[in-house]
Amino acid sequence: MANDHIDNTPGNRAAAREILTFYMEAGVDALVGEEPVDRFAPEAAAPALQPQAVATTPAEQAERPVSTIRTTLPPKNVPKAAPAVNAPPAPDVAVMAAREAAKSAGSLEELKAILGTFDGCGLKKSAKQLVFSDGNPQARVMFVGEAPGSDEDRAGVPFIGRSGKLLDLMMKAIGLDRTGAYIANIIPWRPPGNRTPTPQESQICLPFISRQIELADPDILVCLGGPSSQTLLGFTDGIRKTRGRFLAYNTGKREIRAIATFHPAYLLRSPLEKRLAWRDFLSIKQELAKPVSA
C-alpha cells in the first residue's frame, strides 16, 4: 500500500489538521504535486543536470537562444547543499520565446498545443492546467478577461465561476450565449491565490493572446476590466475612464472594433456600476448589428 508508512495515530492526525489549517490561513489553497518536495534536502534529491547547457547570469540568459527556453535548470556553481530550485528564464528571453512560439501557430488548436508545452511563464507550474478558451471561435465577438480563478483552473474553462455566471447573464441580455461568443484571458494559467498577474507575466502571455485574437478573427473585441484593456489596447488610464468607447484594434490581419468594459468580478463587488456596463453591452449589440467590415 502506498500509505503504509503513514503514522495514522490520533496525535499525528491532529498535527496534520493543524498544519493544514496553518497553510490555509497563509493562503495556500491548491496542491501543485502529489508528493511533498524537500527543498532543503541534500544534493542527492536534486535532478540530474547538464550545467554546460545552461546560461546563468542575466547577461548569459539574454544571449541564450530562445529555442532553449524550456531548459530551466538551476544556476551552475551552486553550493552542494543548495535547494534544487529551477531558475526561470529572464523575462525578456521569455517574451522573445513567446513571440516566436505564438507566431509559429497556424491555428487555434496549434496555439493551444504550443501553450501547453511553453515553459516561459512561471504561473504554469502552480496552475492545475491551461485555461485556453471557451465558446465559439467562429463567433463575431470575443471577450478577453484577465486570468482564470480557482473554478476555471479546476475545469480548464474560462469564466465558469461567479463572474462567469454574471458574464453569461450580461451576454444573454444582448442575445448572446457561448455559441455566439468566444472567450479567453490575457493569462491562461491561474495565478496562485488569485493574485494579480505581474506586468512581466502579462507581457510574456501577450503574444499568445494577440495571436489567439488574430486566429479567431472576431469583428468585435471586448476587453473585460482594466488589466485586459491596458494590456491589449494600451490604455494607461483606469477602466472608469476608458470603458464604453469603440476604437480600432489591429489584429495583424485586419482592423477590428474593440471596446473596454467593467470586469464582471468588479460588477459583483460594485453592483451600481452595472448601469454603465449595460450601456456598454448595448453598444456592443448595436455594433454587432452593423454590416461586417471587410
What residues line the site for ligand URA (CB under 6 A)? 145-149, 152, 158-159, 161, 163-164, 185, 265
Q: For ligand URA, which is the closer residue by CB, 89 or 161? A: 161
CA neighbor of 199 nearest in space, from 54, 91, 71: 91
Q: For ligand URA, which is the closer residue by CB, 122 or 158? A: 158
- Least separation, in Å, of the C-beta of 178 and ligand URA? 13
Q: Name the burial class of residue 154, with classes exposed (0-12), middle (13-18) and buried (19+) by CB atoms within 10 angstroms of its CB.
A: middle
The rounded distance, in Å, linking the Cα atoms of 74 and 52 is: 11
Q: Which residue has the cell 460588477?
A: 267
Q: For ligand URA, which is the closer residue by CB, 64 or 178? A: 178
Our CA dihedral for 131, 136, 139, 144, rounded to 10 degrees, sits at: -20
- Least separation, in Å, of the C-beta of 266 and ligand URA? 10
- Least separation, in Å, of the C-beta of 225 and ligand URA? 7
CA neighbor of 31 nearest in space, from 122, 115, 125, 155: 125
- Residue 236: C-alpha distances to residues 160, 166, 262, 287 (Å): 29, 26, 15, 25
Q: For ligand URA, which is the closer residue by CB, 163 or 261? A: 163
- Least separation, in Å, of the C-beta of 159 and ligand URA? 4
State the residue number with the nearest CB to ligand URA: 145
Q: For ligand URA, which is the closer residue by CB, 122 or 161? A: 161
